[in-house]
Structure 1
Amino acid sequence: MNCAVGKIIIDADACPKAVLEICQKISGIYKVRLITVASFNHQIKNSEHIVVGNASQEADLKIMNIAQENDIVVTQDWGLAAMLLAKKVQCLNASGRVFNELQIDFLLEEREIKAKQRRAGGKTKGPKKRKLEDDSAFEQRVLEMLKGPLN
């Protein structure tokens, strides 16, 4: 496979262990650099791990600073994904959902609506429980992204 990606970066503060393991396997096979970024509150086993403080958005800022065009970033953070898309960085979440310019505005608007609801005392649903199919979908999507940017 001709690899069109510079590196894979994982926003590891909220990353499932299975996703980290999949990325480590793929980076080893395809010789793609893998960087994990997390606060010092997390114990991440990766040869290229960047530890940041636990201040709000600290990991996100570090990822923004090191991500470059055509890198792949794994994150659950829609705001971070929106900023990275502007830098032409490929973004996906831990379930294999690819973020793109067409839907990111909708996702950010949804996030704001849910935040307002919570501030007003309402409840919102959390993420769905992770399934084995999520691991398969994630791995397949990363392999597709290694070939080049998905449109």
Structure 2
Amino acid sequence: MTTTPAIYVDADACPVKDETFRVAARYGLHVYVVANSLLNLPREPWIERVVVGDALDAADDWIAERAGPDAIVVTADVPLASRCVKAGASVIAPNGKPFSESSVGMALATRNLMQDLREAGVVTGGPRPFTRQDRSAFLGALDRAVNRLRRGR
């Protein structure tokens, strides 16, 4: 027996909330939109707003405590992605790149290296701009993740 997947969105800076809602509506999934502050969201019974307060990593902790094998987590936060992958969740970045056990370690190492360089005063630029192709890749990745979970992985 499989359970219905739930989607957890690390929402404070997520550029693909609307895309997540479209996919969730298509498959009848519950979406938890987790943020440190109140966000304007569609009023649907399957979209649940979770405001966790402004404590450091409060949203990450809330999501990680609930992420498991029948969860899909949408986040660009690499440490959160690592925690959720370890819990068995399907994790997708807003650009459509899935995090896996084999990829999350390298992503975490790269993130830590870039943080060290920034702290040392090296100008590293920022992330590249979010594109239509990223949005499209995300929609495809989310659809695949939902179908994989619905088939029982």
Q: TM-score, structure 1 length as denominator?
A: 0.89
For 1:7, the equivalent position in structure 2 comes to 6
* Bigger mean CA offset, 3-12 vs 59-68: 3-12
* Pairs within 5 Å for 1:15-34: 15-16=14-15, 19-34=16-31
Q: Secondary structure at the match of 1:14?
A: coil
Q: Which of the residues 43, 55, 58 maps onto 2:39? A: 43
Unaligned runs of 5+ in 1: none
Contact 2:76/2:93, CA 8 A, preserved across alignment = yes
- Describe the shift of the 1:34–1:87 C-alpha distance in structure 2 as closer, same or farther (beyond 3 A): same
For 2:95, the equivalent position in structure 1 comes to 95
Deviation per CA, 1:56-90: give whole Å up to 9, x if none: 10100010122221311000111111111111100
State yes or no: 1:82 paired with 2:95: no
C-alpha distance in 1 between matches for 2:103 and 2:70: 19
Shift of 1:100: 0.7
Shift of 1:5: 4.9
Shift of 1:128: 1.1
Unaligned runs of 5+ in 2: none
Identical aligned residues as a percent: 29
Tell me the matched-pair count: 145
Q: Secondary structure at the match of 2:148?
A: coil
Q: Secondary structure at the match of 2:106?
A: helix
Contact 1:5/1:148, CA 8 A, preserved across alignment = no
Q: RMSD of aligned C-alpha atoms? A: 1.8
* Runs ≥4 residues deviating over 4 A: none
Contact 1:5/1:72, CA 8 A, preserved across alignment = no
Deviation per CA, 1:17-62: give whole Å up to 9, x if none: xx1111111111110111100002x524153010011121010001
Shift of 1:147: 1.4
